[in-house]
Structure 1
Amino acid sequence: MTIYSIDLDPVSLKLDASVGHIADLTIRDGERLLSPLHRAPWVDDPAAEFPAGTAPNVKRLSGDFLCAPFGRNDIENAPSHGWSANSVWDHVETLRQDDRLTVAFRLQRRVMGATVEKRIMLVAGHPFVYQQHSFTGGAGAISAAHHVMVHMENGGDLTFSPKHGARTPSEALEMDPSRGRSILAYPAQSTDLTEFPLANGGFADLTRYPPGQNHEDFLTLVEAAEVKDARVKDVGVEDTRSEAPVHSLGWTVVSRKAEQDHVIVLKQPGVLPVTMLWMSNGGRNYAPWSGRHAGVLGIEDARASPLGHADSCGENEFTRSGVPTCFDLGSERKIIIRQVIGACAASPRAGKLIDVSEQDGMLIKRFDTGETRSLNYAADYLTG
């Protein structure tokens, strides 16, 4: 295990280069030190036991990592979520320029023949981690996702950029009651995030977490879109699509109750058109989960199908509605994916968060009380 520390006030970050996971993230807001990301309880437990065949990404499950492909790896011989989440990243360079610090890493293994690089950038005075992954060369197609994990001691509220709706896959994560429990209906869908069908009747409000007790669930949110017949150019890739996002900034904000903070995840909706939510709330009984992995929400911004690499590369329920689920690789092509993670303290007087936008080099949070808060933010990072 090799840990790299990357620090530039107000952000302190540690990368577990043995698997490419963010092992720890601390963000200072005034006198408060915020810890927005989750680290599985068994990672630092020397007595932890793992069933045979447990993937490294589960053994060292932390913070955020790149999935390439997302989920089942049924084209290339590699563990679930790909070598990008399960093998070594080498440090390439550290660059300091003006108020910015950038640290670059390269995955030792290739993914579908492509070279994969990770660039983490911190900006002085910004409460954000700016993260870029790139695929150079290769052949075929690859799905990809960021696997951000947030822990909530006593739940919280969720706010999203405009979504077309939510849907669960054909089968629940836990079908065998002896191994675990899921509570959402499978398959199901809803255009109202406050009313998603439950397996036993009734509805779950997806804007509040958790929706129940002792459950393991998964669903996909699709960005709100408008019909377009023109070609749309994403960063590093060009597609013909029937639909394009109606907004330029994709976001998820977790307003944690006990922690009294806001965890912010930003994306390019045209590049990563879906947000998958993994609700891990004590619903798995077997090791290493053993009912102790609770209060965790995975926010997985992606260009992927939840059913794995092969499904992502073919026609599926998303592509049939104009939502791309993979990137096409090529010897003369470079795919670039950017994402931003941040956090700030919450004010009890501010009310409920209702909107996030960018303006004049700031990220603006708006609340239902009419209050706003501005955060230092490099707006050109996702739009440039």
Structure 2
Amino acid sequence: MSNKTIDFQKGKVSGKVSLLGAMVGPVEFLLSNNKVVQPFSTAPWANEEKSVNEEKNLIDNLPPILKNIGGEWPCVPFGMPNAKRNLPLEWLHKIDCIEPIDESFMHGFSANHEWQDISNSLQEAELKIEYPLNHPVKRLSRKISVTDNNQLEFELLVETEKPVELPIGLHGTFKLPNKPGKAKLIIDSFKSAYTYPVIVEPNISILEPNQKIDDLEQVLRSDGCFEDMTTLPLENSTEELILLDLSVGRIQLQNHDECYEVVFEWDIEQFPSCLLWYSNKGRDYYPWNKRFQAIGIEPIASAFDLGVIHSRNTFSPLQKAGIKTGFTLDGTDRFSYKISVNTI
């Protein structure tokens, strides 16, 4: 599968969109102090030269979503294709009564296949992708443009033949400084949060699973200590997932090493939660090899990344807590959101 890209440029912003997954990034912003910054994470293995056949086979055999993972892209449906079973009992109640869908790919068909370039201007990128005939989603269309004040503006259209409830999400991944503690998450509308129901990465993850969080700066670890999950990168190599319950769709990521901040804004009625993915050089196997460090800021209507069945389950702990874990798609649904970069 090729890694073809679309280039776009307007004002002080220029970037690329990969046809594979319609992943946006890298994107360069010329800031008011004449400094150029590129805030999105990129996969260190995406453009590696492979001189050994065995290494080439490794990357060829990766799931498509991992081949150049980074930047930002839509996930319809959001999460894993099969229902995870090794969860606490409260997560498994009634899941056998939930109707599955025919989905084979992590974060959906569109995140693992090439989109069609339908752009009409070099100033913006526009793409679409047709879903398989047996899928409840018919088509996705996506436009990435630059506003007059140099924000990235996104529009996603999801078309269905009939109403269907699915977990959906936006997958933003952002780079972090090398030195621990040189970046800060600012979440003004924080209500509460939840750690993943089980350990994310066995023998690697440090947080106590299946806990409710009242303060993101004091999150219980499995060793009984507490971790500040807003000050990044973390000291420990780890992989973590935290679901945020918010009242406003807005998160800031300040990079004090490069003196800029990213502001991610979305409609809280469409994406009532946000999944934070802490990839802190925790995975020691290919292709990660302890070299991927990023923070995922992922607005969602989903039960973590647990997929369709867990997200549809009205008996899940999140739904019992009043957290919406799916979105009813009906005809053509439009989702708009923005990412801006400013000096600090």
TM-score bracket for the superposition, by shorter chain length: 0.7 to 0.9
User: What is the Cα deviation at residue 54 of structure 1?
Assistant: 2.6
Q: Report the AA paired with residue 159 of structure 1.
A: I
Aligned to 2:157, the other structure's residue is in SS state strand
* Residue number among 136, 154, 159 corresponding to 1:131 in the alignment: 154
User: What is the Cα deviation at residue 102 of structure 1?
Assistant: 4.5
Matched residues in 2 for 1:152 and 1:136: separation? 35
* Residue number among 189, 193, 198 corresponding to 2:221 in the alignment: 198
* Residue number among 12, 18, 21 corresponding to 1:19 in the alignment: 21
Percentage of matched positions with identical amino acids: 21
Aligned to 1:318, the other structure's residue is in SS state helix
Match of 1:28 in 2: 30
Matched residues in 1 for 2:189 and 2:268: separation? 10
User: What is the Cα deviation at residue 119 of structure 1?
Assistant: 1.3
Match of 2:312 in 1: 313
1:44 aligns with 2:17: no
Large movers: runs of 4+ above 4 Å: none
| CA deviation map 1:18-58 (0-9, x unaligned) | 22111311111131111011101001113255378531111
Q: Give the gaps of 5 or more residues in structure 1.
A: 225-248, 347-384
| CA deviation map 1:262-299 (0-9, x unaligned) | 011111111111111110111111100011112x1010
Which structure is higher in RCO with an 8 Å CA cutoff and minimum separation 6? 2
1:65 aligns with 2:67: no
Matched residues in 2 for 1:19 and 1:114: separation? 16
Matched residues in 1 for 2:241 and 2:263: separation? 20
Aligned partners of 1:218 and 1:279 also within 8 Å: yes
Aligned partners of 1:18 and 1:88 also within 8 Å: yes
Match of 1:302 in 2: 300
Aligned to 1:20, the other structure's residue is in SS state coil
Aligned to 1:266, the other structure's residue is in SS state strand
| CA deviation map 1:296-341 (0-9, x unaligned) | 10101111111222111222222222222212234xx222222211
| CA deviation map 1:46-92 (0-9, x unaligned) | 32553785311111102111111112113323210111211111122
Aligned to 1:57, the other structure's residue is in SS state helix
Matches within 5 A, 1:280-295: 280-294=279-293
Matched residues in 1 for 2:31 and 2:329: separation? 41
Matched residues in 2 for 1:145 and 1:60: separation? 19
Aligned partners of 1:141 and 1:328 also within 8 Å: yes
Aligned partners of 1:172 and 1:218 also within 8 Å: no
Matched residues in 1 for 2:214 and 2:253: separation? 20
RMSD over equivalenced CA pairs, Å: 1.9
Matched residues in 2 for 1:317 and 1:337: separation? 27
Pair 1:141–1:52, CA change in 2 (3 A): farther
Q: Where is the strand percentage greater, Structure 1 or Structure 2? A: 1
| CA deviation map 1:223-272 (0-9, x unaligned) | 14xxxxxxxxxxxxxxxxxxxxxxxx421111112121101111111111
Match of 1:162 in 2: 189
Matched residues in 1 for 2:137 and 2:260: separation? 41
Matched residues in 2 for 1:166 and 1:324: separation? 14
User: What is the Cα deviation at residue 205 of structure 1?
Assistant: 1.5
Aligned to 2:110, the other structure's residue is in SS state helix
Matched residues in 2 for 1:26 and 1:344: separation? 12
| CA deviation map 1:112-166 (0-9, x unaligned) | 2321110112123x23111111111244322111111111123311101312111
Pair 1:45–1:138, CA change in 2 (3 A): farther
Matches within 5 A, 1:201-216: 201-216=224-239
Matched residues in 1 for 2:59 and 2:200: separation? 18
Q: Give the gaps of 5 or more residues in structure 2.
A: 83-100
Aligned partners of 1:327 and 1:335 also within 8 Å: no
Q: Where is the helix percentage greater, Structure 1 or Structure 2? A: 2
Matched residues in 1 for 2:46 and 2:301: separation? 28
Matches within 5 A, 1:232-251: 249-251=248-250
Q: Report the AA paired with residue 165 of structure 1.
A: S
TM-score by length of 1: 0.76
Q: How many residues align?
A: 310
Match of 1:360 in 2: none
Q: Report the AA paired with residue 262 of structure 2.
A: V
Aligned partners of 2:9 and 2:124 also within 8 Å: no
Matched residues in 2 for 1:45 and 1:275: separation? 32
1:107 aligns with 2:134: no
* Residue number among 64, 89, 92 corresponding to 2:118 in the alignment: 92
Match of 2:8 in 1: 6
